Structure 1
Amino acid sequence: MEELAHQSRVMMILFVLEMEWVLSTGQDKHFTWHCSESGQRLGGYRTSAGACGLQFDVETRHVFVGDHSGQVTILKLEQESCSLVTTFKGHTGGVTALCWDPIQRVLFSGSSDHSIIMWDIGGRKGTAIELQGHNDKVQSLSYAHHTRQLISCGADGGIVVWNMDVERQETPEWLDSDSCQKCDQPFFWNFKQMWDSKKIGLRQHHCRKCGKAVCGKCSSKRSSIPLMGFEFEVRVCDSCHESITDEERAPTATFHDSKHNIVHVHFDATRGWLLTSGTDKVIKVGARSLL
């Protein structure tokens, strides 16, 4: 077999047994695929930045490529052709890991911005659910189909097991405003209102529950909102804080400290084993009790 045609470091590689294909992404901003038997290059696609995340759906022949710009690209592969299906972006940092659930038709993307986004590709036409449970970049994802649990690992050494068998809510878009949408005090760039009211402008914040633009005084409270993916406490406006019940604060994820910087995770459902490898050159085997 001939070498894969990348001009710099290969970041991810997949072997598709059903098609006898080898798929690969690299820092050279290219996705390529080859025939695994002959080594013949079947095609390629140039991404917007160095690509690292890679997943493939056998049924639709869709390949998912995540890159360092935070973009996810979906391509349709034929025997010797490739076509762009769509692109989408929700991360403020680069995509560092992808995980595909072919049953629910959901794609998970992890990022250097510490977040995970669940993209509903097949069912709800682009619904995106954000998950916040790491204090450093997310480096690897795995999915346990039989229990509908997502396993995420990061540079913070944390292993987070997310219950995906709950009805989660999309995070709202942040609204734009020149003044606080609760008390109408001007923000610091609103010179006209500051002059008219003879008041110093305030710093703008956003409530994570309703998305409204608010000042610090009107958003002095914090709360976890697990069904919106916020397992840690985040800023919310005072009225939203009062509306959040204890049931809504109930966690939907469990947290475990692996005590090493994890770069890859694999879950073996038949044995209930969780394998992690880290930058410390150590491979660890986790017990069934994690799930």
Structure 2
Amino acid sequence: MSDVGLFGPDSVTWKLHREPILMLGGLRSLYLQALHPRAVAGVAQNSGYRADPWGRLSRTSAYVATVIYGSTAEVEQASSRLRRLHAKMTAVDPRTGETFRIDEPDLLRWVHVTEVESFLTTATRAGLRLTPDEVDRYYTEQLKAAELVGLDPATVPSTAAEVAAYYEDIRPELGMTRDTAETALFLTVPPVPDTWGPRALRLGLTLGPTRWAYLGIAGTAVALLPPWARRLYGGLGWPTTDMTADLSIRGLRLLLSTVLATLPRRYRDSSMRQAALARAQTAAA
């Protein structure tokens, strides 16, 4: 009952991931990941995200929450299941016709780096204050998450400077493909599931204020991308875009904080975080 898992209450990871705005960081990471031709081909050819996008999002979110807040046993069980699943999957590179495993270290490293960098960038640009040392500590702590998916921690960037150098080195491998364009469009205009209610309600969600609100969130996620990534998507790399994105993300964080402050305490944190905090209190007793 006192097992706090991989990180614990004194970690930068727990400090960062208590921020609800990180949901938008996850969306940013998907736009970024789609710029790697092999990575996005692997997802397109193996994932059922088009048929069940919200189910896949839920499963991915549950895995991330387990890694951050789960007990050691829960983390090992979830990561072992993920590694077994990935080990069975292959895809075909649409540019070369080569068949490749989706658990190749280069692809796993790309997904890991873009995910943790997106979480960190989104939170700090939304207004979370972290010192340079805390930023590096977060990247170093996340080496544990990288190891869970099968990566050698020694091969994974573990500081802000190393992440910047990694992006600089990998940029020649990135670009727009058909899979990239289709994935980005899907992320921007996802379908409303049949399970969300009658056709009239789904139509309202598709065309009404909810859809426009989501488009604003997706637009902010794209604007938060590095300028070089926005240019690959055909967008602008201007500093004014970054300024607008910062204003938008800070406003969203403030709105989320205001709404959550009106809710009972038990609804402000996920069940995984509440369980982790309870175990941490037991460990400290």
Q: Which has the higher contact order (CA 8 A, sep 6+)?
A: 2
User: How would you bin the TM-score normalised by the shorter chain?
Assistant: under 0.3
TM-score for the superposition, normalised by structure 1: 0.21
Higher strand content, 1 or 2: 1
Q: Judging by fraction of residues, say which structure has more helix.
A: 2
Larger Cα Rg: Structure 1 or Structure 2? Answer: 1
